[in-house]
Structure 1
Amino acid sequence: MVLTLMSVPCVGADQYKIGVVDPNRVVELSPQYEAAGKALQVEVEERERNLRQQQEQITILQRKLERDSALMSESEMQRLQNDIRSRTRKLKYAQDEFQEDVALRQNELRTKLAKQVREVVVELAKEQGIDLVITEGLVYYSPRMDISDLVIERLKRDSSNK
């Protein structure tokens, strides 16, 4: 249906100029995506290291309990078991919170990048005199209609200007 409408000129108007953007390719090849990924990785590494240290401390305490339980009094053994349980609960909570925070941060970065891409697409469409830009859910389009490379180049230019 859309193809039929595109090929029929309107009264008093030239044919429409249409562009296609592959959002996945634009995002994956943009320097902003790479920079966001690196920034997220830096944020994540410190918390992962902290979680690993907590797990290692629990493992050390568990080994101590296994190794020394025969030599411990009942109250010492109970105190160590409670400490292990408490640390394990805190670690589980911290891991869950970490996963939620990473997902939230990824979503924030994706939203920010999508906004940048949308702004560049609108800017390019206006500069190139493109009447309609289509994205996602396409069955076929001619490569000559694809403006993804132009969007990527503009994102690279914008990235280097900052």
Structure 2
Amino acid sequence: MKAIVQSTLAALVLAVFAQTAAAEVRVGFVNSDRVMKEAPPAKKAQQKLEKEFEKRDQELQRLAKQLQGMQEALEKNGMTMAEGERRNKEREFNELNRDFQRKQREFREDLNQRRNEELAGVLERANKTIRQIAEAEKYDIIFQEAVYASPRIDITDKVIKALTEAK
């Protein structure tokens, strides 16, 4: 729905600009996804997140292996164990599984929150850079979302280059 509204708005804006035949209109397009993947500040933010969450990720992997080992042992030896011992092992497995799922959920929530914080900073820098390019090169409008944009009006490479040089 959002894409339809934006596309309709873009078409409307372009139609209005088309009617003003007296002035030439400069239109640009920036692929935000490419900027957020390829620009050095975005890559740096991703590396920062990976480093920040590395230990927790390793802990989750260790717990997952431990759970898998416990499950395999229960499946393999469950029939030969005494009833009480089997119940204790199942209870221990279930407790560890709940702990694992809780830690995994918290990890995802924390990671998503931090990713949003980091990417918000990158997006702010990218938008500032886009504005600077627009003012310097006299663009009337620059779109960041479009169903289609001709390579002729795509200034994504300029934005990535400007962000690279702004280190």
Asked if Structure 1 and Structure 2 have the same fold, meaning a TM-score greater than 0.5 normalized by the shorter chain, the answer is yes
Q: For residue 142 of structure 2, what is the aligned residue in structure 1?
A: 133
Q: Distance in 2 between matches of 1:55 and 1:4?
A: 57
Structure 2 unmatched ranges of 5 or more = 1-11
Q: Distance in 1 between matches of 2:48 and 2:149?
A: 36
Which of these residues, 1, 16, 25, is aligned with residue 5 of structure 1? 16
Residues 1:57 and 2:86 aligned together = no
Higher deviation after alignment, 118-127 or 51-60: 51-60
What are the within-5 Å matches in structure 2 for residues 109-124 of structure 1?
109-124=118-133
The residue type equivalent to 2:17 in the other structure is M
Mark the structure with the bigger radius of gyration.
Answer: 1
Residues 1:104 and 2:113 aligned together = yes
- Relative distance call for 1:136 and 1:69 in structure 2 (3 A) is same
Q: Normalising by the residue count of structure 1, what TM-score does the alignment of the two structures yield?
A: 0.74
SS of the residue corresponding to residue 139 of structure 2 reads coil
SS of the residue corresponding to residue 146 of structure 1 reads coil
Matched residue count: 154
- Relative distance call for 1:73 and 1:116 in structure 2 (3 A) is same
Which of these residues, 130, 148, 166, is aligned with residue 158 of structure 1? 166
> Would the aligned equivalents of 1:22 and 1:148 in 2 still touch at CA under 8 Å?
yes
Q: Distance in 2 between matches of 1:92 and 1:140?
A: 43
Deviation at 1:30, TM superposition (A): 0.6
What are the within-5 Å matches in structure 2 for residues 58-73 of structure 1?
58-62=67-71, 63=73, 67=77
> Would the aligned equivalents of 1:31 and 1:156 in 2 still touch at CA under 8 Å?
yes
Q: For residue 46 of structure 2, what is the aligned residue in structure 1?
A: 37
Q: Distance in 1 between matches of 2:83 and 2:147?
A: 71
Write the deviation string for residues 84-125 of structure 1: whole angstroms up to 9, x where unpaired: 221111111111222222222332233222211111111111
- Relative distance call for 1:89 and 1:128 in structure 2 (3 A) is same
What is the identity percentage for the equivalent residue pairs of Structure 1 and Structure 2? 22
Which of these residues, 92, 97, 100, is aligned with residue 101 of structure 2? 92
Q: Distance in 1 between matches of 2:151 and 2:66?
A: 59
SS of the residue corresponding to residue 137 of structure 1 reads coil
- Relative distance call for 1:141 and 1:81 in structure 2 (3 A) is closer
Higher deviation after alignment, 132-141 or 147-156: 132-141
